[in-house]
Chains A and B, each alone.
Chain A
Amino acid sequence: MRKKLLAAPYTVWSVAFILIPLAMVFYYGLTDETGAFTLENIAAIATAEHSKALWLSLLLSLISTIICFFLAYPLAMILCRMQVNQHKFIVFIFILPMWMNFLLRTLAWQTLLEKSGVINNILSFFHLPTQNLINTPGAIVLGMVYNFLPFMILPIYNSLTKIDPNVINAAHDLGANNFQTLLKIIFPLSLPGVVSGITMVFVPSLTTFAISTMLGGSKILLIGNVIEQEFTQASNWHLGSGLSIVLMIFIILNMVLNTAFDKEGEGNVI
């Protein structure tokens, strides 16, 4: 009984802020202006503009996720080898930027990358060729990697620390070299962390619209931008919700993959 009482606030919370909004998205997504049932809003993903935006979003978030993985894994391994107070400090450094709002941090990248921005000023001071990254898909990928990298590092780091050092020692004793140990022992054991890291980078990258607006100059339309514009500009909530449902399918696919690997709940680290 007491347990039920303690859970009550969470139940109220999830009904009010998760279930009801979700139901509303489904209601709007599956009806037209007159309130009649329709699948048109979901089928709208097939139009040239929408499917192009969706594929571009999938591509850019995939690239960002891969880059994040290759940046995060070695770093997580280095962190693991460090002394306790040292690695705590490094982890702290990585979490520190998250104390600031991510929109502000993305805006800072805009100022850095602009044609007459900080980076180009420094480059031209040393008579080096300047960069032209702003308002390109590359800038969006950079923004995604920058913003979501900590979400990849932390779960991987978490699962690496859980590996019993004796397992690694045993591998060495049995004649495995460092590379074989990494590939056959460490990596498989850290897989749950890797998978939750992938989810935590891929999902927000797929749905973002702020990063693409700010660093893409509104020239590159991702599926998140399309949905945002349906709500704010075109005030077509039905189409916006319909496209959100399509996006949810991709997110659920990713989550299914996640639960299959991550049985110990590494994703809950943050």
Chain B
Amino acid sequence: MRKLFAVPLALLGAVTLTACAGADSSGENGEVYVYNWGEYIDPETIDMFEEETGIKVIYDEFETNEIMYPKVEAGASKYDVICPSDYMIQKMIENDLLAEINFDNIPNAKKYIGEQYWEQSQGFDPENKYSVPYCWGTVGILYNKTMVDEPVDSWSILWDDKYKDSILMQDSVRDAFMVALKLNGDSMNTLDTAELEAARDLLIEQKPLVQAYVIDQVRDKMIGGEAALGVIYSGEAIFTQRENPDLEYVVPKEGTNVWIDSWVIPKNAPNMSNAEKFIDFMCRPEIAVINFEYITYSTPNEGARELIEDEDIKNSEIAFPDLSKYSNLETYSYLGEEGDQLLNEYWKEVKSN
């Protein structure tokens, strides 16, 4: 949805800003083209980077990995730094779209990012050659305590008739199927047709209860009390609780997706060394902590976590969960061309039903 706003906002911006444009059309030390998730960085850190390095940042946003991929693959718009998720990084590595990162030029990465995140990354980047972890987290249920008075600990509550028209599901193929597959006790990376069909049927069964399939709007709708239950990324939980204290986040007992979004450099990046500088800058603890406070998505940067002043957040189970306490956690892996197609086909059947 944010992508849709980008157009009118850009137009508005173009009209209002033409007067002031021209002042800094290009940085003295070149440019770096960054392609990141929507609202996934504190704009202040970009200004700080520009000021310190003299490199102009040209910043674009995407809403889902699936929207990002074809743009990068087509190569029409060249980016220097992109921040995709685990399974998409794997797909990009397999399709030879990423450059190996020279970690000598990004000293802060190995210095501050915790060992466990590098290990976790090996699931999609086996030798830690292509990606630098930026954010991580889980997917769970956000619920409104004033509307749900029973304990929430299972995905099955999203199939409860009581909450008809008060359930928000993720409008993205993999996250929607993850919920249904986990509820059935299957792996979310399964390619077994019978398991996928069972998940599809479960989602079709759920559809009459769903208020809407949304992505970023889950946050606003939950804050506004528009729905009782919503599937959401853990990073949004702290932010939404700050805005509406009635909200609570849980990781269901059937297990969930543990995801990592990492910085990568595409093979056709025109400004490779500026990209390295950008990633290194973002790995600095004092910068990473600014971003964490702004976007509230868990940071893998141990140095940054030390700098968090609020003890509650520093030790928060939501922001920094102890993963060993949960069972059945998985990270998405790339399903291959055919797997993707199959899943898209099933998703269309769910949506058109």
Contact B173 A53 (CB under 8 A): no
Bound complex: CA A219 to CA B168 (Å): 11
Q: Which label, helix, strand, loop or mixed, suits the secondary structure of the B interface?
A: helix
Given contacts A49-B349, A53-B352, A104-B8, contact A235 B213 (CB under 8 A): no
Contact A116 B224 (CB under 8 A): yes
B110 at the interface (CB under 8 A from A): no
Bound complex: CA A115 to CA B163 (Å): 14
Bound complex: CA A4 to CA B173 (Å): 52
| Closest chain B CB from A21 CB (angstroms) | 14
| Closest chain B CB from A17 CB (angstroms) | 16
Contact A218 B171 (CB under 8 A): yes
B11 at the interface (CB under 8 A from A): yes
Contact B67 A49 (CB under 8 A): no
Q: Interface residues of B, CB < 8 Å — how many?
A: 32
Contact B214 A103 (CB under 8 A): no
Contact B66 A235 (CB under 8 A): yes
Chain A positions 227 through 239: 1 when the CB is less than 8 Å from some CB of chain B, otherwise 0: 0010111111000
A32 at the interface (CB under 8 A from B): no
Residue numbers in B under 8 Å from A213 (CB-CB): 1, 4
B212 at the interface (CB under 8 A from A): yes
- Residue on A with the closest CB to B68? A232
Chain B positions 256 through 294: 1 when the CB is less than 8 Å from some CB of chain A, otherwise 0: 000000000000000000000000000000000000000
Residue numbers in A under 8 Å from B213 (CB-CB): 217-219
Bound complex: CA A68 to CA B267 (Å): 52
State which of B127-135, B235-243, B340-348 sits at the interface with chain A.
Answer: B340-348
Contact B214 A218 (CB under 8 A): yes
Residue numbers in A under 8 Å from B5 (CB-CB): 103-104, 107
Bound complex: CA A104 to CA B64 (Å): 21
Chain B positions 29 through 71: 1 when the CB is less than 8 Å from some CB of chain A, otherwise 0: 0000000000000000000000000000000000010110110
B319 at the interface (CB under 8 A from A): no
Complex interface residues of chain A between 211 and 270 (CB less than 8 A to chain B) = 213-214, 217-219, 221, 225-226, 229, 231-236
Contact B4 A103 (CB under 8 A): yes
Contact B207 A221 (CB under 8 A): no
Residue numbers in B under 8 Å from A48 (CB-CB): 349, 352
Contact A219 B64 (CB under 8 A): no
B194 at the interface (CB under 8 A from A): no
Contact A234 B340 (CB under 8 A): yes
B111 at the interface (CB under 8 A from A): no
Residue numbers in A under 8 Å from B11 (CB-CB): 101
| Closest chain A CB from B147 CB (angstroms) | 11
Residue numbers in A under 8 Å from B212 (CB-CB): 135, 217-219
Given contacts A101-B8, A217-B211, A219-B212, contact A229 B70 (CB under 8 A): no
Contact B352 A234 (CB under 8 A): no
Residue numbers in B under 8 Å from A218 (CB-CB): 171, 212-214, 351
Residue numbers in A under 8 Å from B73 (CB-CB): 235
A-B pairs with beta carbons under 8 Å apart, 7 shown: A48-B349, A103-B5, A114-B226, A213-B4, A217-B210, A234-B66, A235-B70
**B residues neighboring A (CB under 8 Å):** 1, 4-5, 7-8, 11, 64, 66-67, 69-70, 73, 165, 171, 173, 207, 210-214, 221, 224-226, 340-341, 344, 348-349, 351-352
Q: Which 6 A-B pairs have the closest CB atoms?
A: A217-B212, A101-B8, A218-B213, A49-B352, A235-B70, A234-B344
